[in-house]
Amino acid sequence: MDEIRWGMIGCGDVAERKSGPAFNLVPHSRLVAVTGRNLERVKDYARRHGIPKWHPDGEKLINDPEIDAIYIATPPDSHASYTLQAARAGKPVYVEKPMARTLAECQAMVAACAKAGVPLFVAYYRRCLPAFLKIKELVDGGAIGAVRCVTARLFYPPRPEDVAHAELPWRVRPEISGGGYLYDLASHQIDYLDFLFGPFTSITSQFTNQAGWYSPEDIIAAAWTHSSGVIGSGTWCFSAGQRLDEAEIIGSAGRITFSFFEQAPVRLETDAGAEEYLYPRRDPIQQPLIELVVDELRGAKGLCPSTGETGARTNWVLEQIVKK
């Protein structure tokens, strides 16, 4: 297949800034149709981005014979149903993160795509960003010796909509998102650490909701072990007074510090001194991952590092951390 013709379900903020434009920037890729819950927004998106057509619903878009692959950019409550529809239509899927609301939904998505013989990719794009590839290069190359442990802290002040008494945003409504900001933000961190050190194995945690603005947990602490033997710990607070985003990898011969979400340098410290690596933010940020998805769909097997299997592992970790 020389060109991958994409259909996109969902025209929200992620599709506007992080992903949608990339489908027309990647070689041998073209976004040909869009749909979403708000048809006026869909029509406006198609007009502004030069998309040839729009569909009134996801089913019609998925079954459009001029579409080769489906990108699902909706909230997580519809990820599984659209993926199963696409699999029945024999079309590959690229789905937003978190992959679904629950591990069971993820497993159903993986099984449906495997049965249909179509690939399933998940938009955990840090696996392809230069700064995070540099960290992996340093770790795998032994720059800090044998890795002992990794720690991550992410503190966010509340967003205005979180404390309003109107309808809460979907990200803190578990029936839509699967959980709270742990699912929305920490899932990126968990997935990347899986990429760096292998799957999570044993997990222990403490969590609660201190501020009471919504039902999901707003403060979480967890400790775990990776299949590689690396020990990890994380603390997340989404009702903090100030923002903090820092991670540290400790090795037998040095350490690496970095940020998951801020534009900050990767810092390597060893007995030889300190080095910093700063990479400009890529825009649209998902383009490096989408490039690998397109290359794999065109026949270069095994290129994309973020699949249904890896995405499901992240959902397993999320469920283990806030296990009731």
Angle at CA of residue 49, ends 43 and 64, nearest 5°: 60
Residue 222: strand pairing partners: 205, 234
114 with 160, same domain: the answer is no
225 has pLDDT over 90: yes
pLDDT for 183 equals 98
148 with 12, same domain: the answer is no
Q: How far is CA 8 from the centre of its chain?
A: 17
For residue 174, give the CATH number of its domain. Answer: 3.30.360.10
116 with 141, same domain: the answer is no
315 located within any domain: no
Judge if the upstream peptide bond of residue 65 is cis by omega within 30 degrees of 0: no
- The stretch 184-207 carries a mean pLDDT of 98
Most distant pair of Cα atoms in the chain: their distance: 61
322 located within any domain: no
Question: Could you identify the residue written with the tokens 């249904």?
Answer: 308
313 has pLDDT over 90: yes
297 with 237, same domain: the answer is no
30 with 167, same domain: the answer is no
AA letter at 145: G
Q: What is the pLDDT of residues 85-105, one digit of tens each?
A: 999 999 999 999 999 999 999
User: Are residues 72 and 97 in contact, defined by beta-carbon separation less than 8 angstroms?
Assistant: no
pLDDT above 90 covers what percent of the chain?
A: 96
pLDDT for 31 equals 98
42 with 77, same domain: the answer is yes
DSSP string, 286-315: THHHHHHHHHHHTT-TT--S-BHHHHHHHH
pLDDT for 38 equals 96
38 located within any domain: yes
165 has pLDDT over 80: no
166 with 269, same domain: the answer is yes
90 with 147, same domain: the answer is no
104 with 168, same domain: the answer is no
For residue 295, give the CATH number of its domain. Answer: 3.40.50.720
Q: Which domain holds residue 263?
A: 130-281
144 located within any domain: yes
89 located within any domain: yes
Cα separation, 310 vs 324, in Å, equals 23
Provide the pairing of β-strand 266-270 with 120-122: unpaired
Helix (H/G/I), strand (E/B), else coil: 69? strand
181 with 209, same domain: the answer is yes
142 with 276, same domain: the answer is yes
253 with 229, same domain: the answer is yes
CB-based contacts of 212: which residues, under 8 Å, 6+ apart?
A: none
Q: 293 falls in which pLDDT band (50, 70, 90)?
A: very high
Domain boundary pick from 264, 281, 298: 281
- The stretch 12-34 carries a mean pLDDT of 97
32 located within any domain: yes
- The stretch 69-79 carries a mean pLDDT of 98
HSE (side-chain half, CA atoms, 13 Å) at 301: 1
- Stretch among 159-168, 254-263, 304-313 having the lowest mean pLDDT: 159-168
Confidence (pTM): 0.97
1 has pLDDT over 80: no
318 located within any domain: no
244 has pLDDT over 80: yes
Tell me how crowded residue 57 is: count the other CB atoms within 10 A of its CB. Answer: 12
User: Are residues 148 and 190 in contact, defined by beta-carbon separation less than 8 angstroms?
Assistant: no
188 located within any domain: yes
AA letter at 27: P
Q: What is the pLDDT of residues 271-288, one digit of tens each?
A: 999 999 999 988 999 999
Number of separate domains in the chain:
2
